[in-house]
Amino acid sequence: MDNISIADLNILLIEPSDTQRKIITSLLIKENVGEIDSVSSLSEAKTVMKTHGADLVVSAMYFADGTALELLKEIKDNPETASTPFMLVSSENRMAKLEEYKQAGVAALLPKPFEPLHLRRALSASVDLINSDELDLELFDIHEVRVLLVDDSRLARNHIRRVLEGMGLKKIKEAENGAEALTYLKDQPFDLVVTDYNMPEMDGRELSEYIRFGPETAHIPIIMVTSEAQDSAHMSNIQQTGVNALCDKPFEASEVRKMLAALLSE
């Protein structure tokens, strides 16, 4: 199937404010989006998704009939719509609230108000998720690269898996936390570890330290996926454990592609 562009997108826009809906619609039109279905409630949005779906959902956070998190989880739990990118547009700045959406597999977060540049980047990230473009490596057959994916959120694992599979990675083993990941590392070889930072039982930092200081695992490249600010004290400590690359949530395909190309070419 040919790759789609922003102009090919059919977007479902969910925004309770008439004014905000008009503003966002006009900005989407300026980005040459092909088709926009505009609704004001979650119930209307669910009807649209059931009748004809969408290539991308762009949603506010709060509605009279619930929050966007409910719709996001419903979309990601349905095999027919699970691959649909979900973009959140919100003025919410509480990290705990935003973390729920990141863990549920949101493709992009746009603050209100946002600049056209931010919208363009979010649209491009969403299109990258839709399009499958295998990574071409000199040293590896991408289909044979063995990946250990570690995250306590099932929805987050599903999102990361889809990104990796879109690049041609097929041998992906999943673990819910660092402790479970260790049992797999002891029993079988891996070429790459992609791990979340915040996890119960054993977090990403502890897992990375085990990998880096184990004679049989020290060579494995590690990508740490985190919602933490890159310049935070936690991230400084993480980098000292030998993590090869830090990747923000949401997990953007273009960013990950560059990381994989660099790590698997060494």
Nearest partner of 41 among 32, 30, 33, 49, judged by Cα: 49
Kindly tell me if the per-residue pLDDT of 247 is higher than 90.
Answer: no
Residue 50 burial class via C-beta count within 10 angstroms: exposed 0-12, middle 13-18, buried 19 and up: exposed
Kindly tell me if the per-residue pLDDT of 241 is higher than 90.
Answer: no
What domains appear along the chain, each with residue ranges and CATH number? 6-130 (3.40.50.2300), 142-263 (3.40.50.2300)
Kindly tell me if the per-residue pLDDT of 75 is higher than 80.
Answer: yes
Q: How far apart are CA 27 and CA 50, in angstroms?
A: 26
First-residue to last-residue Cα distance in the chain: 32
Kindly tell me if the per-residue pLDDT of 103 is higher than 60.
Answer: yes
Kindly tell me if the per-residue pLDDT of 163 is higher than 60.
Answer: yes
Kindly tell me if the per-residue pLDDT of 234 is higher than 70.
Answer: no
This prediction has a pTM of 0.82
Q: How far apart are CA 92 and CA 46, in angstroms?
A: 23
